[in-house]
C-alpha cells in the first residue's frame, strides 16, 4: 500500500467491499481492493458523481452542499480532486454510451489537464515534492470576493469579423472555459450571448466580462451603455464591467465612432481627460444603480432576477491613470486588463496593481494578431515560444489570461497548462532584455494617441512646420543674431573744430533740455546723471566712441559745462547709475522671427510685385548669383529680364516719357518694402490728379528697394558712398541726370547722403520728404522712440514688435546708423524747393519740434505773415496755433505739409491724404526742367 513515497493507512471506514471495487490480479491471482477508503474518506467523492455536466448540477448546488459540509483540506485542490472523483463516473458513462464521443473526450481532456497540472504527481500539503521548484498553477484568482477563472476566452476577432464568434464561444464553453471576455466595441456581444444561451451551461457558472466603449464615456450615458450591452448579450447581468480605454472617441450617430478622413478615430479630448468622472458614473451602476438597472431590464425583456455582484474594472490603464482613478474611487477597480506577454511584461504596472489589490488580466497574452509570439510566419521580432508556456508564465505571475482562438484543439491546449520551473520563468522574463518591449496594440499607431499623457493627434504638416521652425531658429536665427552683435565700425572721428561746430549746431536747438537729458538717459533720475555719465554720452555722440575720457577730458568738460548752462544746474562729479542711449555701442535688442513670418513677408512681396507690375513698373534685379543672399527668396525675380546696374540695389522703374517733367526717385522707409507705397507710386500719374500740366507723357519713377530695412535677411546697409554710387549708376542707366527726390521716413537718411555726395548731389532737384527722421537727429526722439521706448499703445507695440525688433532693422540702426552722418540740417536743403510732410501724431518723430525748427526764420513764410492763429480749446482756454501748420502750400522754398491727426506713415493710407503730397511731387517734376 505504498508507492512513490505515498501510502494509505488501512482503516475501516466503510463496509462496502463489493465487486465494484474488488478484483483478482490476473497474473498473481492475488485479491485487489481498490482504494475504497480514499473514495469514501472524502465526502466529496459523491460530488464527483454529480459534477459532470450531463448531470446538470450547478455550482450553487455545490455551494449549498458545502454550506453544510465544508470542503476538506487542502482546499486548493478541491476542484482537481473533484475532477478525479468524477473521472470514474465519466469513464463509466463513456463505456456505456460509446456513440457519444463527448463523454470520452471529456475524460481524456480532464486526464490531460490533470497530468499536465501534476506532471510530478500529487504534492501533499506540507509534504515533500519530487520537483521542489514546481508550482501549482491557479485555476482561478480571487478578486474582491469573486473568483475569476485563470484562463478565460478572448472573443476579439479583428479583421476576420464576428462570423466565428458564436461557434468558438460555444466550443470554448463546451471545452471548459468559464470566463468569456467580450466588449461592446467588438460588436459581438449578440453572438457571445447566443453562444452562452445555447451552451446549456448555467449562467452563474460563467464569468462574463464586457467593456464600456469609448463613445460612451459621457457620465450621463454610462448606465445606458451597460443596459445596451446587456440587451445585446441578452443577459441580465455581467460579472465584470471594464472601462475599455481611458480615452474617449467623439461619438457619431448611434454612438458610432467619428473618424478622420485617414480612418483614425476622432478623439474627444474633454472626455478623454474626464475618465475619473466616467469611473464615478460606473460606480453608480454598482450601488443604487444596480436595482434600477435590473428593474429596467426586467420591464423591457422579462429577464429573471439574479443577485448581482457586478465588479468594475479598468482596461489599458497606466500606473498614472490608475492612480487618478484610485484618488476618486469609492469602489476600487477589481481588475485592470492590459496587454501583457513576455515582450511586454509590464512588471512595474503589475507590482503597482498587486500592491493596490487590483488583479491584472492579460489581453493578447499570445501577442495578439499576427501572434508574434507563437506564429512562426510572423515577421515580428522575438524568439518563438509555445503558447502554453506563454500562458503558464502569465498565470505563474498571478495574472489571468484571455487567449482567443477559433480552433478547438487550441482551446484545449491553451487550458492544458503546467507550471514551469523558476529558471524557465526567469529566462522568459529576460527575453525582453534582448528584444526590447513590443506593444502589439500600440495606441500611438492604432489611433495616434498614447496611453500615457493624452496628446492630440498632430497632423504631419504641423510636424513638418514645427521641425522647419526649430531648424530655422537653431540654424538661422541663433547664429545670425549672435553674428549681428559684432561691434559697429564707426565713421572716422571728426576733428576738434568739426566736433565743436556740430555741438554748437545741436546746442542751439534743444527746445526742452530736461526732456532731452531724460530721453538720452533713458528716464534715469536726475541725481544719477553725473558728470561722467554726461561725458560718456558726449563721447558717443560727438567722438563716435566709448571708453574712458582720456585726452579729450578738457573738451568734454567744456561740453558738460554747456549742458549745465542749458539745464540750469550743476552735474555732480563722478558717475551715477544712469545709463545713456548709445545706439551704436549698446547690445542690439532683436527678437526671433519665425519662418512662417518670413513666408508672410514673401507673400506680401509677391503682392507688391503684382501691384507694381499692374501700375506699369518693371522690376530690375541684381545678378542671379545673389538670389540666395536675400531671404525670403524671390522666385518672381527670375521672371524679369531687366537688370539693375548696381551690385546690391534692386528697384522698380516706370519709364519716363514726359518731355516737360523730371522723373522721380522714391526711397521707402523701414517696413515691409514697397508694399505700402504701391498706390502712391502708381498715382504719381493718376488720372485723378489735375492734368493741366500738359506733360504729354508719363512721369518716370524709380522706386529703390532698401532690403536691410525691409524685414528680410540680407546684407547689412551699404556704406553711404557705396549706396550713392549705386544710385547714381541706376539714374545714369536710365539717362536721368536730374530727378525729384521723394523719401519716406528712413529714406530721408539716404536723402542726406545723396545731398552730401558729390556725384549724386547735382542729380537731386527738388525734394519731398515725408515723415523724415533725419531732421533734428541730435534730439533723442527718433533713437529713443524707435529702439528703447517701452511700448504702451497698440501702434507703439506694432512699431516695437514688427520694426524695432526685426533682426535686419535692429542691426541696421544699432550698427550702421551714425546720427552725425545722417542728420539733415535746414541749410542742407537750401537751393532746392523742399516739401516736408509731417504727421501731428507721429509716434517716432518729434514733428512739433521739427516743424518749428523748419519754420523758424523762414522768410518766405514771414512775408505772408506767419501769424499765430488763436483758437479756443474745449474748456474755453485760448490756444495759440502755430501759423506754419496752416500755411498754404506754395511750392517755393521750404513748405511744410502738416497733418494734424495722422501718425507716422499714415499719409499713404488714403487718396485724400496722399493728394497734397503727390501734388508737391508732380509740381516739382513739372518745374524742375
Candidate list 86, 184, 414, 658; residue touching ligand NAP; CB under 6 A: 414
Task: Supply the minimum distance, in Å, between the C-beta of residue 144 and ligand NAP.
Answer: 19
C-alpha 616/C-alpha 655 separation (Å) is 8
Q: Judged by CB under 6 A, which of 407, 623, 691, 793 binds ligand NAP?
A: 407
Q: Positive or negative, the Cα torsion across 45, 48, 49, 50?
A: positive
For every residue of 414-433, DSSP letters joined together read: HH------HHHHHHHHHHHH
Rounded distance between C-alpha atoms, residue 367 and residue 927, angstroms: 91
Nearer to ligand NAP, 394 or 764 (CB): 394
Burial per residue of 810-848, b for 16 or more beta-carbon CB atoms within 10 angstroms, e otherwise: bbbbbbbbbbbbbbbbbebbeebbbbbbbbeebbbbbbe
- 171 vs 363 by CB, closer to ligand NAP: 363
Range in contact with ligand NAP (rule: CB under 6 A) among 101-109, 320-328, 403-411, 847-855: 403-411
Distance CA 123, CA 715 (A): 89
In this structure, what is the dihedral angle of CA atoms 867, 870, 871, 877, given to the nearest 10 degrees?
A: 150
The Cα–Cα gap between 880 and 882 comes to: 6
In the sheet that holds 894-899, the strands lie side by side as 618-620, 650-654, 701-705, 664-667, 739-744, 764-770, 834-839, 894-899
Among 71, 311, 404, 620, binds ligand NAP (CB under 6 A): 404
- Kindly tell me which of 181 and 781 has the beta carbon lying closer to ligand NAP: 181
What does the alpha-carbon distance between residue 59 and residue 67 come to, in Å, rounded to a whole number? 12
Residue of 86, 318, 405, 812 interacting with ligand NAP (CB under 6 A):
405
315 in contact with ligand NAP (CB under 6 A): yes
Cβ distance to ligand NAP smaller for residue 333 or 365 = 365
Residue ranges of alpha helices (H) inside 97-164 are 101-117
Distance CA 564, CA 572 (A): 10
- Taking the C-alpha atoms of residue 308 and residue 321, their distance in angstroms, rounded to an integer, is 28
Site residues (CB under 6 A) for ligand NAP, limited to 441-470: 441
CB of 81 to ligand NAP, least distance (A): 27
User: Rounded CA gap, 192 and 150, in Å?
Assistant: 19
DSSP string spanning 601-638? HHHHHHHHHHHHHHTT-EEEB--GGGGGGSBS--GGGG
Query: Least CB distance from residue 320 to ligand NAP, whole Å?
Result: 18
186 carries an active-site annotation: yes
Alpha helices in 14-141 (DSSP H): 36-41, 45-50, 59-68, 78-96, 101-117
> Does 410 sit near ligand NAP (CB under 6 A)?
yes
Give the integer Cα–Cα distance in Å for 805 and 711.
10
Beta bridge partners of 703: 652, 666
Segment 17-76, which members bind ligand NAP (CB under 6 A)? none
d(CA 610, CA 619) in angstroms, rounded, equals: 10
Which of 406, 591, 722, 756 binds ligand NAP (CB under 6 A)? It is 406
Beta bridge partners of 259: 265
CB of 315 to ligand NAP, least distance (A): 4
Nearer to ligand NAP, 368 or 676 (CB): 368
CB of 373 to ligand NAP, least distance (A): 7
> In whole angstroms, what is the distance from residue 319 CA to residue 354 CA?
12
Strands (E), 855-903: 869-872, 878-881, 894-899
Rounded to a whole number of angstroms, the minimum distance from the CB of residue 371 to ligand NAP is 4
- Least distance to ligand NAP, CB of residue 218, Å: 20
Preceding amide of 370 cis, omega within 30: yes
Q: Which stretch binds ligand NAP (CB under 6 A): 13-21, 105-113, 410-418, 735-743?
A: 410-418
**What minimum distance in Å lies between the beta carbon of 456 and ligand NAP?**
21
Stretch that binds ligand NAP, among 84-92, 114-122, 358-366, 585-593 (CB under 6 A): 358-366
How many other C-beta atoms can be found within 10 angstroms of the C-beta atom of residue 397? 17
> Looking at beta carbons only, is 416 or 783 nearer to ligand NAP?
416
Question: Whole-angstrom distance between the N-terminal and C-terminal Cα of the chain?
Answer: 139
Q: Does 215 contact ligand NAP by CB under 6 A?
A: no
Total binding residues toward ligand NAP, as defined by CB under 6 A: 28
Q: Which one of residues 192, 402, 590, 773 is an interface residue with ligand NAP (CB under 6 A)?
A: 402
Minimum CB distance to ligand NAP smaller for 181 or for 532: 181
- Residue 193 interacts with ligand NAP (CB under 6 A): yes or no: no
Shortest CB 394 distance to ligand NAP, Å:
10
* Nearer CB in complex with ligand NAP: 365/808: 365
Q: Which residue is nearest to ligand NAP (CB)?
A: 154
User: Residue from 181, 223, 532, 833 that binds ligand NAP (CB under 6 A)?
Assistant: 181
Figure out which of the listed residues 138, 149, 154, 313 binds ligand NAP, where binding follows CB under 6 A.
154
DSSP state of 188: -
- The Cα 831–Cα 436 span in angstroms is 85
Omega of the bond leading into 632 within 30 degrees of 0 (cis): yes
Of 604-643, binders to ligand NAP (CB under 6 A) are: none
Which of 186, 440, 651, 677 is flagged as catalytic? 186
Compose the 362-401 pattern: x for residues touching ligand NAP by CB under 6 A, - for all others: -xxxxxxx-x--x------------x--------------
| Of 45-53, 101-109, 359-367, 734-742: span binding ligand NAP (CB under 6 A) | 359-367
Positions 539 through 598 that interact with ligand NAP (CB under 6 A): none
* Site for ligand NAP contains 403 (CB under 6 A): yes
Please, which residue, 168 or 658, has the CB nearer to ligand NAP?
168
Going residue by residue from 242 to 271, which x/- string records binding to ligand NAP, judged by CB under 6 A? --x---------------------------
Query: Which residues belong to the active site?
Result: 186
**Site for ligand NAP, rule CB under 6 A:** 154-156, 181, 244, 315-316, 337, 363-369, 371, 374, 387, 402-407, 410, 413-414, 441
Amino acid at each position: 500500500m505504498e508507492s512513490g513515497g505515498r501510502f494509505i493507512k488501512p482503516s475501516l471506514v466503510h463496509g462496502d467491499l463489493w465487486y465494484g471495487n474488488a478484483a483478482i490480479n490476473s497474473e498473481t491471482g492475488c485479491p485487489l481492493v481498490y482504494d475504497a477508503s480514499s473514495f469514501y474518506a472524502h465526502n466529496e467523492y459523491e460530488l464527483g458523481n454529480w459534477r459532470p455536466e450531463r448531470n446538470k448540477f450547478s455550482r450553487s448546488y455545490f455551494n449549498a452542499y458545502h454550506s453544510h459540509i465544508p470542503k476538506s483540506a487542502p482546499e486548493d485542490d478541491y476542484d482537481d480532486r473533484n475532477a478525479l472523483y468524477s473521472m470514474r463516473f465519466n469513464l463509466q458513462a463513456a463505456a456505456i454510451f460509446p456513440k457519444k464521443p463527448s463523454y470520452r473526450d471529456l475524460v481524456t481532456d480532464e486526464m490531460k489537464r490533470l497530468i499536465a497540472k501534476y506532471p510530478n504527481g500529487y504534492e501533499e500539503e506540507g509534504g515533500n515534492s519530487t520537483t521542489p521548484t514546481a508550482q501549482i498553477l491557479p485555476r482561478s484568482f480571487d478578486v474582491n470576493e469573486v473568483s475569476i477563472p485563470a484562463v478565460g476566452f478572448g472573443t476579439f476577432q479583428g479583421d476576420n469579423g464576428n462570423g466565428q464568434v458564436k461557434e468558438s464561444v460555444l466550443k470554448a464553453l463546451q471545452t471548459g472555459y468559464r470566463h468569456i471576455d467580450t466588449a461592446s466595441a467588438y460588436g459581438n456581444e449578440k453572438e457571445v450571448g447566443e453562444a452562452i444561451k445555447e451552451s446549456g451551461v448555467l449562467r452563474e457558472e460563467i464569468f462574463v466580462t464586457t467593456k464600456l466603449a469609448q463613445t460612451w464615456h459621457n457620465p450621463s450615458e454610462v448606465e445606458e451603455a451597460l443596459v445596451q450591452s446587456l440587451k445585446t448579450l441578452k443577459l441580465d447581468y455581467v460579472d465584470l464591467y471594464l472601462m475599455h480605454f481611458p480615452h474617449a472617441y467623439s461619438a457619431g450617430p448611434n454612438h458610432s465612432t467619428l473618424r478622420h478622413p485617414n480612418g483614425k478615430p476622432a478623439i474627444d479630448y474633454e472626455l478623454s481627460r474626464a475618465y475619473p468622472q466616467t469611473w464615478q458614473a460606473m460606480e453608480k451602476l454598482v450601488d443604487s444603480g444596480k436595482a434600477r438597472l435590473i428593474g429596467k431590464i426586467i420591464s423591457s425583456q422579462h429577464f429573471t432576477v439574479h443577485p448581482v455582484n457586478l465588479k468594475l474594472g479598468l482596461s489599458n490603464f497606466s500606473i498614472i491613470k490608475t492612480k487618478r482613478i484610485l484618488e476618486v474611487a469609492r469602489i476600487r477597480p477589481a481588475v485592470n486588463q492590459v496587454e501583457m506577454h513576455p515582450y511586454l511584461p509590464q512588471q512595474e504596472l503589475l507590482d503597482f496593481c498587486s500592491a493596490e489589490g487590483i488583479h491584472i488580466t492579460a489581453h493578447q497574452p499570445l501577442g495578439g494578431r499576427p501572434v508574434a509570439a507563437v506564429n512562426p510566419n510572423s515577421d515580428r521580432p522575438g524568439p518563438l515560444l509555445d503558447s502554453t508556456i506563454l500562458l503558464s508564465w502569465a498565470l505563474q505571475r498571478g495574472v489571468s489570461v484571455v487567449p482567443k482562438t477559433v480552433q478547438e484543439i487550441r482551446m484545449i491546449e491553451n487550458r492544458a497548462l503546467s507550471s514551469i520551473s523558476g529558471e524557465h520563468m526567469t529566462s522568459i522574463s529576460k527575453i525582453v532584455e534582448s528584444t526590447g518591449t513590443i506593444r502589439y496594440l500600440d495606441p500611438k499607431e492604432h489611433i495616434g494617441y498614447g496611453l500615457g499623457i493624452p496628446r492630440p493627434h498632430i497632423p504631419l504638416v504641423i510636424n513638418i512646420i514645427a521641425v522647419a521652425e526649430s531648424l530655422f531658429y537653431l540654424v538661422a536665427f541663433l547664429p545670425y543674431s549672435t553674428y549681428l552683435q559684432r561691434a559697429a565700425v564707426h565713421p572716422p572721428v571728426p576733428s576738434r573744430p568739426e566736433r565743436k561746430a556740430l555741438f554748437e549746431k545741436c546746442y542751439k536747438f534743444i527746445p526742452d533740455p530736461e526732456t532731452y537729458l531724460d530721453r538720452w538717459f533713458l528716464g534715469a533720475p536726475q541725481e544719477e546723471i553725473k558728470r561722467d555719465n554726461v561725458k560718456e554720452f558726449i563721447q558717443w555722440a560727438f567722438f563716435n566712441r566709448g571708453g574712458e575720457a582720456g585726452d579729450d577730458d578738457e573738451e568734454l568738460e567744456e561740453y558738460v559745462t554747456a549742458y549745465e548752462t542749458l539745464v540750469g544746474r550743476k552735474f555732480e562729479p563722478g558717475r551715477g547709475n544712469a545709463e545713456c542711449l548709445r545706439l551704436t555701442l549698446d547690445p542690439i535688442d532683436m527678437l526671433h522671427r519665425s519662418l512662417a513670418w518670413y513666408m508672410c513677408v514673401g507673400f506680401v512681396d509677391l503682392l507688391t510685385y503684382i501691384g507694381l507690375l499692374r501700375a506699369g513698373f518693371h522690376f530690375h534685379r541684381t545678378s542671379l548669383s545673389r538670389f540666395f543672399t536675400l531671404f525670403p527668396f524671390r522666385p518672381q525675380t527670375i521672371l524679369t529680364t531687366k537688370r539693375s546696374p548696381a551690385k546690391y540695389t534692386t528697384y522698380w522703374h516706370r519709364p519716363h516719357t514726359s518731355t516737360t517733367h523730371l522723373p522721380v526717385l522714391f526711397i521707402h522707409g523701414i517696413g515691409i518694402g514697397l508694399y505700402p507705397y504701391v498706390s502712391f507710386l502708381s498715382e504719381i500719374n493718376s488720372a485723378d490728379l489735375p492734368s493741366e500740366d500738359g506733360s504729354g507723357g508719363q512721369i518716370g519713377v524709380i522706386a529703390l528697394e532698401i532690403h536691410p530695412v525691409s524685414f528680410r535677411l540680407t546684407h547689412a546697409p551699404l556704406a553711404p558712398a557705396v549706396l550713392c554710387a549705386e544710385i547714381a549708376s541706376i539714374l545714369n542707366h536710365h539717362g536721368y541726370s536730374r530727378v525729384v527726390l521723394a523719401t519716406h521716413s528712413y529714406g530721408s537718411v539716404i536723402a542726406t547722403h545723396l545731398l552730401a555726395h558729390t556725384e549724386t548731389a547735382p542729380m537731386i532737384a527738388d525734394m519731398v520728404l515725408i515723415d523724415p527722421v533725419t531732421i533734428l537727429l541730435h534730439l533723442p526722439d527718433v533713437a529713443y522712440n524707435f529702439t528703447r521706448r517701452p511700448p504702451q499703445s497698440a501702434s507703439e507695440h506694432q512699431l516695437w514688435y514688427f520694426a524695432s525688433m526685426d533682426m535686419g532693422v535692429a542691426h541696421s540702426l544699432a550698427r550702421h546708423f551714425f546720427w552725425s552722418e545722417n542728420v539733415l540740417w535746414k541749410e542742407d536743403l537750401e537751393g532746392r524747393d523742399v516739401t516736408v510732410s509731417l504727421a501731428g501724431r507721429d509716434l517716432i518723430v518729434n514733428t512739433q519740434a521739427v516743424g518749428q525748427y523748419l519754420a523758424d526764420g523762414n522768410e518766405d513764410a514771414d512775408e505772408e505773415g506767419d501769424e499765430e492763429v488763436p483758437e479756443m480749446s474745449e474748456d474755453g482756454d485760448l490756444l495759440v496755433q502755430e501759423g506754419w501748420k496752416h500755411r498754404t502750400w506754395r511750392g517755393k522754398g521750404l513748405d511744410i505739409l502738416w497733418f494734424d491727426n495722422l501718425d507716422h506713415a499714415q499719409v499713404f493710407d488714403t487718396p485724400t491724404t496722399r493728394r497734397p503730397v503727390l501734388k508737391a511731387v508732380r509740381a516739382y517734376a513739372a518745374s524742375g526742367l
